[in-house]
Structure 1
Amino acid sequence: MTQSVTPPLGFAPFCILAVLLLQNADLALSRRPEPYYGRLIGRLTQYAHGIRGTVYAVDENTIFVREFAYDGTGPDAYFWVGDTPQPSPEGTLVPYPEDYSSRDPPILSRHNNSDILLRLPAGKRLRDIKWISVWCRRFTVNFGDVFINPGLEPPRPRVLPEFKRLAHGLRSGNISVLDAKTFYIPNLHYDGAGPDAYFWVGNGSEPNPFGTKVPNEMGSLNPLRGYQGEDIEIQLPGKMTAYDIDWLAVWCVEYRHNFGHVYLPKDLDVPPALGQTKITTSSTTSQTSFSTTNNCKEILDKRLQVRWEIQGDQVQITLAARLRKEQYMAFGISGAEGRPAMLGADVVVAYWDTKANQPRVADYTITHLAQCDGERGVCPDQRLGGSNDAVLVSGQQKNGITTITYRRPLAAKEPMKDKEILTSRSQSVIAAFGPLNSRYEANAHSFMDTTRNDVQLDFGAQEEPACVGLAELAAGGPVPWPARVLAAQRSFTARIGPTGGTRGYTPITGHPSWGIAWYINDQLIPEIYVERGQTYTFLVEGGDDRTNPAKFHPFYISDSSEGGFGQKREEDQRKQRVFAGVAYDNEGYPYPTAVGRYCEWTHKTIDQSATSETFEDYMKTLQLECNEGEPAVLNWTVAHETPDLVYYQCYTHNNLGWKIHVVDPGTPVPIPGDQGARINSADTSPLLSTALLLVTMTLTALCNFAGR
């Protein structure tokens, strides 16, 4: 006899809690504590000059010193690394700041709880050194040091698979997670035809609408352009890290469609994102620098145009002006609220480096109305031991206008040098033009080249368009192609293809598109004319893989100008009249009948609709790609009660098709007034239509056989 044992009070809830903890153990292990600085090396041991700080291994080439302190009075002090048993003159100098402009590395200046990022010299890795020191070269004195555990393994970038190839020609090389916020995507291809596509991250077993947009490689949240094998880097917005997400995708927000994705592993162990990874792109200065945001203000007598866009905990700012050679433009937060004050201001100086032919930006602190002497004045933050928080995004010189875009944090990262950018109300800003000195630093400007009255700017505004002077006026856009017409045809092929951008689907129909549409007889959404009482045959090649929604487009005919019968609720389905392509099972549920192999006209490179004057020119930029299999055959006999206007559509998605005009026998087919419209008016007998259909199916079968 089995004896029953009564569990102690509270045991059941404890078991449930234990199970939940076990189920979520892998999730907990995959997340990093915040803030995360990398592998702890240890604290600096102080021997002199108030040395203090905690040292971390960011990656095999980078060291982070948290809350570093040093009184700055050593005559020849530097960060110093080596592999001897104790710090010695045989070590190697690690310059800080890294991007100094003088011939020799700068002597270490005073620091009070500064966060320091050190890059080991070329060829040096963490495993090659045994200690880190603050060292005085002149007197060979060690001011402070920390030793590295020989078994220390720093975090490393993680290589992931390529993007899964689902739609719009998306593909890439193996994607790398460089640090907790940065993804490197090599050899990226995407046709750019998705109407509302973005890099997209989130949680769950597969990409879904509850994700977050990720700025592109230019820091913009505009819909993605086309890519032709470019290597790019993107960074997660705000405080989000790779430890917070399950996947990275290219996602169409408007149509909730996944073009391709890659999963992140649970055991991710990558370097923290401390600014050591610099965004580099293959097209940094070729992109249009203007943000598409409508937030814009003209100041300095309308000579300087400022555009801005909030991006998470950053603000992206675009400055545009007619600059002379060796001249800068500066913009930032005033040193006093309610008036223009240079003293105490936090500004970014932007200019064009004529020697390197590159745009530059630098974060400045103004502690005195004089040229910077290394301790006070109008100084780059880095010359005062701080960091350059202005990150260059892009720049261009065109038609005499210099345009430079940069990002900076909203928060004041260094309270003694930086000012917070507010998003809850307006605040006073200042701006100036001036000459550059031989160090490419800002020199004094004239009275007429600076803000003389209080200028208020609301960075949190959603729409503040106030620019007319320097703004580049957008052209009216390319002319749409004429509508296509198919008449007196009895057989049709229905395939998928791109929408033709601003020349194609949307201007023809007035409906939004999600990047693909029906091509009937290799024409983009032609208007079809049919006669009542006649039978028409459609060879449908819209895809038969129900597991891939991006390539599953059953064909049907309805009175709905929108389509998408299969995604509608039952009450909405009842509002549509279906004439072909849908049947019902024994339980009364609808299913599509015109389900065949997938054939798609794809871009050979990127979408070139804007530069294709005619549809025929556009077709030369496309190529036909077909999966193995057979087309579906849909026969439709047009009933006498069929309305004058119906539509061919996609069963699973909205807005892929267009009009079918239904006429009585003998009715003349109207010729559109636009002579560019294609009219197929040759009479085709039913016997000839059947013969053409048989020939088409035979050729398809032969091609499939030859491809095996």
Structure 2
Amino acid sequence: MRSWVPPPRGLRSCLALLLILNAGVVSTRRQEPYYGRLIGRLTQYAHGIRGTVYAVDENTVFVRNFAYDGTGPDAYFWVGDTPQPSPEGILVPYPEDYTTRDPPILTAHSNSDILLRLPAGKRLRDIKWISVWCRRFTVNFGDVFIPPGLDPPRPRVLPEFKRLAHSLRSGNISVLDAKTFYIPNLHYDGAGPDAYFWVGNGSEPNPFGTKVPNEMGSMNPLRGYQGEDIEIQLPGKLTAYDIDWLAVWCVEYRHNFGHVFIPKDLDVPPALGQTKITTSSTTSQTPFNAANNCKEILDKRLQVKWEIQGDQVQITLSARLRKEQYMAFGISGAEGRPAMLGADVVVAFWDTRADQPRVADYTISHLAQCDGERGVCPDARLGGSNDAVLVSGQQKNGVTTITYRRPLAAKEPSKDKEILTSRSQSVIAAFGPLNSRYEANAHSFMDTTRNDVQLDFGANNDNTCLGLAELDTSGPAPWPARVIAGVTNLTARIGPAGGVRGYTPITGHPSWGIAWYINDMLIPEIYVERGKTYTFVVEGGDDRTNPAKFHPFYISDSPEGGFGQKKEEDQRKQRVFAGVAYDNEQYPYPTAVGRYCEWTHKTIDQASTSETFEDYMKTLQLECNEGEPAILNWTVAHETPDLVYYQCYTHNNLGWKIHVVDPGTPIPFPIDQRAGLSSATIFPPLTTFAILTLLTALRNVVER
């Protein structure tokens, strides 16, 4: 056996330093389980009171392993600021979401974990004790006193998202608890093809991260956001103490659209369920578990998802709606059969005027259009209230999805029906067009349920849906490719890829959400003549530290591009015609590097609703950084192939085709682009050389 030899002194010093650094890293991670700042143990005076109390935050306490025999006649959790527990205290309801008129009397518990939220805006600094108190006999069954100077954990405010790509920006992000992030005023154009909230470790966001569900709890790629306030929660056992950053990340193309770093010295509340996901935007999405309950009706054309939330029911409707068409769902006017008369329904639709979802509570007193007194009428038009509250809405892959809440109780008995949670009841649904008032058109309200459909609103995990939103793979037609010809001065800027109408359907290649705009056209096909010189004013970015905004322009025979990210053997497979030079050591570098200019969305990506590219351009705005553009001069050699490509040096799939032609070649402009072009542009005059060539060819044919 070989004897152990100690490492050299220098190596020992390095090892010691590494151990110290690693110890420092470990110490920044909070050990689980963590319940907050310890307050103390409940002192038992009667009825088997036991439990350990923690300060979760300044408004919330957590009682770990609570025990109580439940035999007290009028016992409650009780807090106050007197020297000792007394009748002058304040009742703390448990459970908080009780449905009775008065808070329920405390029942028996054996090693229960209980979360208590202090009432009436009280904070821990405002009270001196927590007690289990019997009101009827003014008896203290057990108590714990708040230590003087207790400093509960607090949410931590971070900077905003770093703005790197796709118009991503936000307000200051907050860590509400160990699993919950609050992101105010979130803007993102939604054009990234595979973008997610993304967390991980390291000095910068990287591919070795973890997806975080969006505010709906969904793992679908992120939609566009337009100034919404949202909250997201880390998945599984992951906490804010386990990560170094939160980012918006494109998985497919491994690009960081923006991020915020997580400090090592966090001291935020534990995630014990005290932070409820809420949003301030009426069109933002609130997560709920409605997917556990789902039923397909109207010949499986309408999906209805539901969940009881206290004294409310949250309902999601999903269907393929035509423009200015509604979907309606509610309680049948009769039990045991579908009846429109007397029904209480909610009409949901997408308001194309404001480009947002709408919901309205309706009463059906007559099968006729509403005249202001009777018919298929919104309750609000009849002097009642609109009890349907919009939660969220989106349009994706031809499917409109709208979520709303309404009370279980019939608040207006003459107009509303009670939603039962103890048994099934008959429901109805319908499709139809909206009238000029954007109300349901009664004359088309007959596309309804034909058979009795029973729904148990109190059910759990009643799910027979197959995934309506995934069935529709059709989409709007792509825009015709634009053509540029007869122009020797061109601009090259960055802009959005145009979603389902733009880069990918035009080229057949995947896109990571941006593309070249030449003369402010999305990836036009450019025609150049051999022997002529063309000048490209390039504004693709010059910040090498920000890959999302560094797009040098170059021309090669590669339909993919990305010369700078290729291995040397792959670079040799490309033939480069402009935009790349070599240094003294024969390393390539891009030459067309200038300031960054990008066409960005004024709101969110509206490619799917823009019939023409010209309509789409109206939804964009040009944003340019300070600096000078790059100038790329390219003289087209006579031996240049007939087809080459303008591309990005650092990324794949941003550009498209350059057709190299001889002088006098007719240019095949698209029909919709020919308006305003002279015949000489479409069919340029023949040169003397071309005429002589043509005459020679004709003479040869005649001589044969």
TM alignment of 1:378-417, pairs within 5 A: none
- Structure 2 SS opposite 1:162: coil
CA distance in 2, matches of 1:572, 1:626: 33
Determine if contact 2:492/2:516 at 8 Å carries over to the other structure: yes
What corresponds to 1:177 in structure 2?
Answer: 175
Q: Which residue identity lines up with residue 165 of structure 2 in the other structure?
A: A
TM alignment of 1:250-261, pairs within 5 A: 250-261=248-259
TM alignment of 1:357-376, pairs within 5 A: none
More off after superposition, 627-636 vs 158-167? 627-636
Determine if contact 1:482/1:677 at 8 Å carries over to the other structure: no
For residue 556 of structure 1, the aligned residue among 554, 557, 561 is 554
More off after superposition, 24-33 vs 642-651? 24-33
What corresponds to 2:221 in structure 1?
Answer: 223
- Structure 2 SS opposite 1:81: strand
Q: Deviations over 1:434-471 (max 9, x none)?
A: 9999996622348998899xxxx999xxxx98467xx7
For residue 527 of structure 2, the aligned residue among 521, 526, 529 is 529
Determine if contact 2:596/2:625 at 8 Å carries over to the other structure: yes
Question: Is 1:542 matched with 2:537?
Answer: no
Q: Deviations over 1:670-698 (max 9, x none)?
A: 233555799698769xxxxxxxxxxxxxx
CA distance in 1, matches of 2:663, 2:333: 77
CA distance in 2, matches of 1:35, 1:405: 36
Q: Which residue identity lines up with residue 242 of structure 1 in the other structure?
A: A
Question: Is 1:503 matched with 2:501?
Answer: yes
More off after superposition, 659-668 vs 642-651? 659-668
1:318 is displaced (CA, Å) by 7.5
TM alignment of 1:658-697, pairs within 5 A: 658-672=656-670
For residue 211 of structure 2, the aligned residue among 210, 213, 225 is 213
Q: For residues 600 and 500 of structure 1, do their structure 2 counterparts lie closer, same or farther at Cα, with a shift above 3 Å needed? A: same
Q: Which residue identity lines up with residue 614 of structure 2 in the other structure?
A: E
Question: Is 1:266 matched with 2:245?
Answer: no
Q: Deviations over 1:139-192 (max 9, x none)?
A: 011111111111221100001011111111111111111100111111111111
What corresponds to 1:158 in structure 2?
Answer: 156
Q: For residues 53 and 444 of structure 1, do their structure 2 counterparts lie closer, same or farther at Cα, with a shift above 3 Å needed? A: same
Q: Which residue identity lines up with residue 521 of structure 2 in the other structure?
A: Q
More off after superposition, 111-120 vs 645-654? 111-120
What corresponds to 1:238 in structure 2?
Answer: 236
Q: For residues 178 and 132 of structure 1, do their structure 2 counterparts lie closer, same or farther at Cα, with a shift above 3 Å needed? A: same
TM-score when normalising by structure 1: 0.73
- Structure 1 SS opposite 2:19: helix
Determine if contact 2:77/2:131 at 8 Å carries over to the other structure: yes
For residue 443 of structure 1, the aligned residue among 407, 411, 422 is 422
What corresponds to 1:627 in structure 2?
Answer: 625
CA distance in 1, matches of 2:519, 2:299: 58
Question: Is 1:324 matched with 2:322?
Answer: no
What corresponds to 2:480 in structure 1?
Answer: 482
Q: For residues 257 and 67 of structure 1, do their structure 2 counterparts lie closer, same or farther at Cα, with a shift above 3 Å needed? A: same
Segments of structure 2 that go 5 or more residues without pairing to the other structure are 307-313, 319-327, 336-343, 348-358, 362-388, 427-451, 683-704
- Structure 2 SS opposite 1:646: strand
What corresponds to 1:88 in structure 2?
Answer: 86
Q: For residues 577 and 197 of structure 1, do their structure 2 counterparts lie closer, same or farther at Cα, with a shift above 3 Å needed? A: same
Count of aligned pairs between the two proteins = 579
1:24 is displaced (CA, Å) by 2.2
Q: For residues 508 and 92 of structure 1, do their structure 2 counterparts lie closer, same or farther at Cα, with a shift above 3 Å needed? A: same
Segments of structure 1 that go 5 or more residues without pairing to the other structure are 1-6, 309-315, 329-350, 360-391, 407-432, 685-708
Q: Which residue identity lines up with residue 506 of structure 1 in the other structure?
A: T
- Structure 1 SS opposite 2:25: helix
More off after superposition, 597-606 vs 256-265? 597-606
Determine if contact 1:177/1:183 at 8 Å carries over to the other structure: yes
Q: Deviations over 1:481-523 (max 9, x none)?
A: 1110001111111111111221111111111111111111111
Q: Which residue identity lines up with residue 558 of structure 2 in the other structure?
A: S
TM-score when normalising by structure 2: 0.73
Determine if contact 2:215/2:286 at 8 Å carries over to the other structure: no
Determine if contact 1:487/1:680 at 8 Å carries over to the other structure: no
Q: For residues 18 and 352 of structure 1, do their structure 2 counterparts lie closer, same or farther at Cα, with a shift above 3 Å needed? A: farther
Q: Which residue identity lines up with residue 234 of structure 2 in the other structure?
A: L
Q: Percent identity?
A: 79
Q: Which residue identity lines up with residue 18 of structure 2 in the other structure?
A: L
CA distance in 2, matches of 1:289, 1:88: 41
- Structure 2 SS opposite 1:21: helix
Question: Is 1:595 matched with 2:593?
Answer: yes
CA distance in 1, matches of 2:679, 2:239: 60
Question: Is 1:75 matched with 2:56?
Answer: no
Q: For residues 569 and 292 of structure 1, do their structure 2 counterparts lie closer, same or farther at Cα, with a shift above 3 Å needed? A: farther
Determine if contact 2:290/2:315 at 8 Å carries over to the other structure: no
Determine if contact 2:215/2:287 at 8 Å carries over to the other structure: no
Q: Deviations over 1:357-387 (max 9, x none)?
A: 999xxxxxxxxxxxxxxxxxxxxxxxxxxxx
Q: Deviations over 1:226-280 (max 9, x none)?
A: 1121111111111111000000111111111111111011101000011111111
What corresponds to 2:52 in structure 1?
Answer: 54
CA distance in 1, matches of 2:162, 2:231: 18
CA distance in 2, matches of 1:481, 1:123: 56
Determine if contact 1:495/1:518 at 8 Å carries over to the other structure: yes
More off after superposition, 247-256 vs 440-449? 440-449
Q: Which residue identity lines up with residue 653 of structure 1 in the other structure?
A: H
What corresponds to 2:36 in structure 1?
Answer: 38
TM alignment of 1:612-623, pairs within 5 A: 612-623=610-621
Q: Deviations over 1:506-556 (max 9, x none)?
A: 111111111111111111111000111111111111111111111111100
Q: Deviations over 1:612-637 (max 9, x none)?
A: 22222211221111122221111111
Question: Is 1:107 matched with 2:86?
Answer: no
Q: For residues 115 and 449 of structure 1, do their structure 2 counterparts lie closer, same or farther at Cα, with a shift above 3 Å needed? A: farther
CA distance in 2, matches of 1:112, 1:624: 64
CA distance in 1, matches of 2:645, 2:232: 42
CA distance in 1, matches of 2:346, 2:104: 22
TM alignment of 1:270-281, pairs within 5 A: 270-281=268-279
Q: Deviations over 1:290-340 (max 9, x none)?
A: 9999x99869997996889xxxxxxx9989895526999xxxxxxxxxxxx
Q: For residues 488 and 168 of structure 1, do their structure 2 counterparts lie closer, same or farther at Cα, with a shift above 3 Å needed? A: same
CA distance in 1, matches of 2:524, 2:422: 64
Question: Is 1:582 matched with 2:561?
Answer: no
1:21 is displaced (CA, Å) by 3.1
CA distance in 1, matches of 2:115, 2:677: 68
CA distance in 1, matches of 2:290, 2:501: 21
CA distance in 2, matches of 1:358, 1:24: 58
Q: For residues 103 and 622 of structure 1, do their structure 2 counterparts lie closer, same or farther at Cα, with a shift above 3 Å needed? A: same
Determine if contact 2:538/2:592 at 8 Å carries over to the other structure: yes
CA distance in 2, matches of 1:238, 1:85: 43
Q: For residues 520 and 467 of structure 1, do their structure 2 counterparts lie closer, same or farther at Cα, with a shift above 3 Å needed? A: closer
1:101 is displaced (CA, Å) by 2.3
- Structure 2 SS opposite 1:24: helix
Q: Which residue identity lines up with residue 599 of structure 2 in the other structure?
A: W
